[in-house]
Chains A and B, each alone.
Chain A
């Protein structure tokens, strides 16, 4: 297992390096002078020069690159151009909200998808199966930037059950979590069904039934347990999608997380903050994929020797 972990880590480091390099080059893709662009066309040349120095844009490119990399390793991503706060501190203060939203979305997805998948598998080919899978297909095709406003119209505007946007209570979390969790729920429901059907073909299921165990018991206690491995993997792999999904969901529901911070920083041309948010989200994404790989290797020893 240790050599497997080391091998996976060795593969991840160059990727992280590449990701950071790409994020570094972003600032240099800004057409013209990034400092001028941040301050606006009407800015005084002296101010622009001052900002250029502060951002380190006058240093030679290799120096800028080295400074960026050294900073990133020490969690120093520079200061926001808008309010001079440390980018790391700003991201840290939003992190909790984004994590709450992401976790709630995954909880919504799991509580919807697993029963739906089990239902579909146990009534394979019958009405319940078709209904559950149609529901899942709709969930996958529905863009979250449409689902969110639709849910808001129904539950906040028409029924008045939930607040439209903002934070402060559990009720505020319901619509964003449902919006963000819907696509994952759909994917998971299909996965649960497929994985469970796979297990139901196994001989131990037949043997259990032959020993006189009830259908429900064999299904839930025996087959479902074994079908969990692929489900766990999908949950891990999809965490990245959930994380990027927060960008749109937070924007729709004015949820003060990292995704909204990113979009707001873009409109203020706060490039250090934009770079910081993007680097942070990508590193978490890479890290989650690594953890999923490791978990998979732990659950299924065959993977380690490939």
Chain B
């Protein structure tokens, strides 16, 4: 039930992101200053924002930013994480100690604080948000993969590949890493939710996507100055973020139950 709900929410958002420009009832950047802050009506279902732009259209286009940041962060973080985790787990020894110490330090930081710090010094932009979130995100994957690789490298088929003289990179890429992918996919789905929240938080603090690009977090930030006269500025972008995050969480939990039932026992 939850899993299907997750699929539905994520599916609708992806559709909105892909087909958004053709679906928007109005130009998301067109301003109608005479009607600024207008409440939801037949013509503008979610109302107009502080510059008289159609909020529904901006939400549709904003879905792109959320999903794009999520995808970019999850892809880069999981790639680095898989690489580091499998190296640490497979080689052990000094390599493992080195990578693990770096991971300890990064885990000691509250994630969002480090992201804020990085974006603060590098300057607010979409690219820097992705870099900062990937920088803190890879550790989660690396820890997961390392633990798995420690187990997998002792399995007979891996020993057999080694005995047959396969080179280490080949063993890692062909035999070890594929076995870790199911858990990585679950983690990545949940990671989408985390990345989307983090992007929205940063944008809300003015450290993320810069105007006029419609990001859900930036839209929420704008709504803060109009709590009294136009609460719809706060209501709809927040709802979009909360629903999408919930969707990815349902999807991730559902995938975990389906891909690897043992994981439930391990947790």
Contacts and interface: CB of A to CB of B under 8 A. Distances in A.
B104 A145 contact: no
A21 B239 CA distance: 39
Given A149-B234, A251-B205, A143 B101 contact: no
B227 A153 contact: yes
Contacts, number: 118
A248 to B, nearest CB: 6
Interface residues of A, number: 45
Interface in B184-225: 197, 200-201, 204-207, 217, 220, 223-224
Contact of B104 (A15, A262, A263, A281): A15
A40 interface: no
A228 to B, nearest CB: 22
B110 interface: yes
Interface in B217-263: 217, 220, 223-224, 227-228, 231, 234-235, 237-239, 241-242, 245-246, 249
Contacts of B109: 19, 22, 282, 285
A142 B242 CA distance: 6
Given A19-B105, A30-B121, A153 B234 contact: yes
Contacts of B220: 145-146, 149
B110 A281 contact: yes
Interface stretch (B38-46, B112-120, B146-154): B112-120
A244 B206 contact: no
A30 B105 CA distance: 21
A149 B238 contact: yes
Interface in A1-33: 14-16, 18-19, 21-23, 26-27, 29-31
Contacts of B118: 26, 29
Contact of A145 (B207, B217, B227): B217
A285 B231 contact: no
B163 interface: no
A252 B224 contact: yes
B117 A145 contact: no
A142 B205 CA distance: 17
A289 B112 contact: no
* Max chain B Cβ within 10 angstroms of own Cβ: one of A27, A31, A141, A285: A141
Contact of A146 (B112, B205, B241): B241
* Max chain A Cβ within 10 angstroms of own Cβ: one of B108, B116, B239: B108
A146 B121 contact: no
Contacts of A164: 227
B33 interface: no
A252 B224 CA distance: 8
Interface in A46-78: none
Nearest to A142: B242
B122 interface: yes
B234 A31 contact: no
Interface string B72-116: 000000000000000000000000000001101100111011101
Query: Dominant SS at the A interface?
Result: helix
A295 interface: no
Contacts of B201: 143, 145, 248
Contact of A19 (B108, B224, B227): B108
B158 to A, nearest CB: 28
Interface in A153-203: 153, 156-157, 164
A207 interface: no
Contacts of A146: 220, 234, 237-239, 241-242
Contacts of B112: 244, 247
Nearest to A30: B121
A181 B116 CA distance: 21
Nearest to A267: B206
Contacts of A23: 117
A243 B110 contact: yes
A271 interface: yes
B104 to A, nearest CB: 5
A145 B245 CA distance: 14
B11 interface: no
Contacts of B120: 266, 274
A240 interface: yes
A270 to B, nearest CB: 10
B123 interface: yes
A263 B205 contact: yes
Contact of B242 (A141, A153, A157, A262): A141
* Max chain B Cβ within 10 angstroms of own Cβ: one of A18, A149, A164: A149
A289 B104 CA distance: 13
17 contacts: A21-B105, A22-B114, A27-B121, A30-B121, A141-B245, A145-B220, A149-B220, A150-B235, A152-B227, A153-B234, A157-B231, A241-B110, A244-B112, A263-B205, A266-B116, A267-B206, A285-B108
Given A26-B121, A145-B220, A150-B234, 12 more contacts: A15-B105, A29-B122, A143-B245, A146-B220, A146-B239, A149-B234, A153-B235, A157-B227, A267-B206, A282-B109, A285-B109, A285-B113
Closest 9 CB pairs of A and B: A146-B238, A18-B105, A244-B110, A266-B120, A141-B246, A149-B234, A145-B204, A15-B108, A153-B231
